[in-house]
Amino acid sequence: MTALRARLKIYNTETRQKEEVAPIDGRTVRMYTCGPTVYNFAHIGNFRTYVFEDLLRRTLKFLGYSVRQAMNLTDVEDKTIQGAIAQKISLDAYTRPFKEAFFEDLQTLNIEKIELYPEATEYVAEMIAIIQRLMDQGIAYKGKDKGIYYSINRFPSYGRLSHLHLDELKAGASECVTTDEYEKENVSDFVLWKSYDPERDGQVWWESPFGKGRPGWHIECSAMAMKLLGESIDIHVGGVDNIFPHHENEIAQSEAYSGKRFVQHWAHSEHLLVDHKKMSKSLGNFYTLRDLIQRGYTGRVVRYMLLQTHYRTQLNFTFQGLDAAQASLERLSCFIARLHGIRKEKLHLVLDLILEKALPESPEKKQWRSRILFDLKQENERDILDPLILEPILKRILFQHPEHKGIVSKILTEWQDEKHRELLIPILEKVLRDVPERTRLLQKIIHDVRNEKDRDILNPDVMKPILHKVLSSFPDKKERVEGALKEIHTQEKKGPVFAILQQTMEKFVLNLADDLNISPALAALFDMVREINSLCDMGKVSIHEAEETLDFLAKIDEVLGVLPLKPEEEVVPAELLDALQKRELARSEKNWQLADECRNFIQARGYLIEDTPTGVRLKKGKIL
Ligand SMILES: [Zn+2]
């Protein structure tokens, strides 16, 4: 199923309206993301922002934009340095484990890996170059404490992002601030370069034309964004708490430096509250992602919980809310399992018939049949019609039979034919409905299709010559061939399932394209689940439609990143693997009694030992 193309509109904090995203260079959306300060494990409020940014990135890609994104890691600022000094270790030794933990957490939440993860400490030279130019222009000056400060009076549009009225606020605020974070009431000149203070900075300092010291927090992002993405970028994202002063200061620094507009679109996600209160350690309502995982929630559930509230609405976190997210995902999970089940059930009936005919008569025939069917049922791959999946199973089970090669290839041929019948017969029966010998003609077509190396039999280039040949004796051959090809072409667009999927995709895409309006997009998804479930209840969903729906869900999940598309992998308990190893050793030493004990231990726990050409393995099941 192809996704609809739509242009994305996103709310721009600066202009206070939704605006279409149109890359400056006409090709690639360049996006900058303020990343974590790596002095601790990130909390769920931080991850709300990162999940929003991931949704934005995935939506852009889904809609056909190409994206180049950078997220910085703030490894030098007041908190990281304090941590390193307190533990008497280097800054790098202190921040490294938190950087690693951060990447683990991103993976837990299925946040897509982006192109660039710059670390602030590696861009100090770029920061110094910007500060130097601001000094040369007279926009930056040396303060009484020898630090370098930005004179906000020299940047007339200061405050335009946070919509501050500087003339009202600025009365009396002529001093400058050294701290990186401060409130709007304290709007004032901010620090670019902090002059070295041994007590505050420990071993952390760089040489610069303005003396020994270290960069302020705000200059870090300006330097990394401009260095890696260019002086004018398309989208800058972050949490609302970054708007002032951080992003305001980024604009002032970057634009005074380059003379160009720094950012086209500013997008910010709202706060996360816990039980309607600001999350804080002192209130005991502070949660890292790791806290939630420890309580037994999966990354998917947390991601879904963070994702399902629109990014510009405050999200109130509660454990009931998290449980509800879990329940929603379970509904989707059941639905997906049901679709897999429909495919498998129907295919198993077909394969069973083929095996009945193709397997040679022997006392083991019944056992072979059930083992083949059993093994295929364990396959988590979606396309179990693929001979690449069936073939190794057949070889493994039949390898002792002297004629196994011939038998395997016979079954595979029949199996492939069956797939073609499944796909082609409903189409061709319509075109041939008035022909008395249509069964024979259909068989001929299936036979010819079998000889096609090209697997994509629904491709008109493959089918056209075959149809021409088979229908050559008909006076209205041309019309019939064209009719059949047209039928093949539109085949996917038939039936209620396809109509439901198409409508759902439309709603999903149009809502996301409208400022990531996630609630109606998800509602459309759950409506679809309800409607197709009731078709399943009535037995009206074919193998092909089940596959189509699974493809649809995989497509949707490119954006959501939460669906359990594959059934859970089975994990064999470690004690059984140990027992299997012990048994093999005992057998090699001809200690049959111990070998039998190990086998009994394994079987008593519901597993079977299977001999294969590549060795033994365990699988779930009872002795047949
Ligand atoms: Zn930043």
Distance from Cα 222 to the centre of ligand 1, integer Å: 8
Distance from Cα 254 to the centre of ligand 1, integer Å: 12
Distance from Cα 249 to the centre of ligand 1, integer Å: 10
Give per-residue pLDDT as tens, 149-163.
999 999 999 999 999
Mean pLDDT computed over 184-207? 90
* CB neighbourhood size of 200 (10 A): 14
Distance from Cα 246 to the centre of ligand 1, integer Å: 7
Place of tokens 């069917």: 373
What are the backbone angles phi and psi of residue 31, rounded to the nearest 5°? -125, 135
Structure tokens at 458: 């629904």
Distance from Cα 227 to the centre of ligand 1, integer Å: 14
Q: What torsion do the CA atoms of 613, 617, 619, 622 make, to the nearest 10 degrees?
A: 80
| Cβ 515 vs Cβ 7: under 8 Å | no
Distance from Cα 41 to the centre of ligand 1, integer Å: 18
Distance from Cα 218 to the centre of ligand 1, integer Å: 6
Distance from Cα 34 to the centre of ligand 1, integer Å: 4
Q: Give the pLDDT band of residue 227 (cuts 50, 70, 90).
A: very high
Mean pLDDT computed over 256-279? 97
Give per-residue pLDDT as tens, 105-154.
999 999 999 999 999 999 999 999 999 999 999 999 999 999 999 999 99
Distance from Cα 200 to the centre of ligand 1, integer Å: 22
In the chain, the N- to C-terminal Cα span, in Å, equals 42
Distance from Cα 487 to the centre of ligand 1, integer Å: 55
Q: Give the pLDDT band of residue 171 (cuts 50, 70, 90).
A: very low
Distance from Cα 120 to the centre of ligand 1, integer Å: 10
pLDDT score for 337: 87
Distance from Cα 238 to the centre of ligand 1, integer Å: 8
* Beta bridge partners of residue 116, listed in sequence order: 70
Distance from Cα 365 to the centre of ligand 1, integer Å: 68
Distance from Cα 72 to the centre of ligand 1, integer Å: 7
What are the backbone angles phi and psi of residue 506, rounded to the nearest 5°? -60, -50
The mean predicted confidence, pLDDT, of the chain is: 88
Distance from Cα 247 to the centre of ligand 1, integer Å: 7
Q: In terms of pLDDT, which residue wins out, 583 or 461? A: 583
Q: Give the pLDDT band of residue 174 (cuts 50, 70, 90).
A: low
Distance from Cα 379 to the centre of ligand 1, integer Å: 46
Give per-residue pLDDT as tens, 491-540.
655 678 999 999 999 999 999 999 999 999 999 999 999 999 999 999 88
Q: Specify the DSSP class assigned to residue 184.
A: G
- Residue 549 predicted with pLDDT over 90: yes
Distance from Cα 228 to the centre of ligand 1, integer Å: 14
pLDDT score for 480: 83
Q: What is the largest CA-CA distance in the chain?
A: 101
Q: Specify the DSSP class assigned to residue 154.
A: G
Give per-residue pLDDT as tens, 584-616.
889 888 999 999 999 999 988 888 887 765 567
| Cβ 315 vs Cβ 46: under 8 Å | no
* Beta bridge partners of residue 18, listed in sequence order: 11
Give per-residue pLDDT as tens, 328-380.
999 999 999 899 888 777 777 778 888 888 888 888 888 888 888 878 777 75
Distance from Cα 225 to the centre of ligand 1, integer Å: 9
Residue 410 makes CB contacts below 8 A (sequence gap 6+) with 358
Mean pLDDT computed over 274-286? 92
Distance from Cα 217 to the centre of ligand 1, integer Å: 8
Distance from Cα 221 to the centre of ligand 1, integer Å: 5
Share of the chain above pLDDT 90, in %: 58
Mean pLDDT computed over 236-262? 97
Distance from Cα 33 to the centre of ligand 1, integer Å: 7
- Residue 624 predicted with pLDDT over 80: no
Distance from Cα 237 to the centre of ligand 1, integer Å: 9
Give per-residue pLDDT as tens, 45-90.
999 999 999 999 999 999 999 999 999 999 999 899 999 999 999 9
Q: In terms of pLDDT, which residue wins out, 393 or 234? A: 234
For 242, the 3-state DSSP assignment is helix
Distance from Cα 216 to the centre of ligand 1, integer Å: 11
Distance from Cα 127 to the centre of ligand 1, integer Å: 13
Domains and CATH numbers, the chain: 9-275+308-315 (3.40.50.620), 574-620 (no CATH)
Distance from Cα 375 to the centre of ligand 1, integer Å: 52
Distance from Cα 563 to the centre of ligand 1, integer Å: 31
73: left (phi over 0), alpha (psi -120 to 50) or beta: beta
Distance from Cα 74 to the centre of ligand 1, integer Å: 8
Alpha carbon 99 to its chain centroid, in Å, reads 21
234: left (phi over 0), alpha (psi -120 to 50) or beta: alpha
Q: Specify the DSSP class assigned to residue 330.
A: H
Distance from Cα 226 to the centre of ligand 1, integer Å: 12
Distance from Cα 272 to the centre of ligand 1, integer Å: 19
Distance from Cα 224 to the centre of ligand 1, integer Å: 9
Distance from Cα 191 to the centre of ligand 1, integer Å: 15
Mean pLDDT computed over 259-284? 95
pLDDT score for 453: 58
Distance from Cα 364 to the centre of ligand 1, integer Å: 68
Structure tokens at 616: 């033994």
- Residue 382 predicted with pLDDT over 60: no
- How far apart are alpha carbons 421 and 416 in whole angstroms? 9
Distance from Cα 307 to the centre of ligand 1, integer Å: 22
Distance from Cα 286 to the centre of ligand 1, integer Å: 23
Distance from Cα 44 to the centre of ligand 1, integer Å: 18
pLDDT score for 1: 46
Distance from Cα 49 to the centre of ligand 1, integer Å: 13
Give per-residue pLDDT as tens, 441-452.
888 887 777 766
Distance from Cα 122 to the centre of ligand 1, integer Å: 15
- How far apart are alpha carbons 423 and 185 in whole angstroms? 69
Distance from Cα 35 to the centre of ligand 1, integer Å: 7
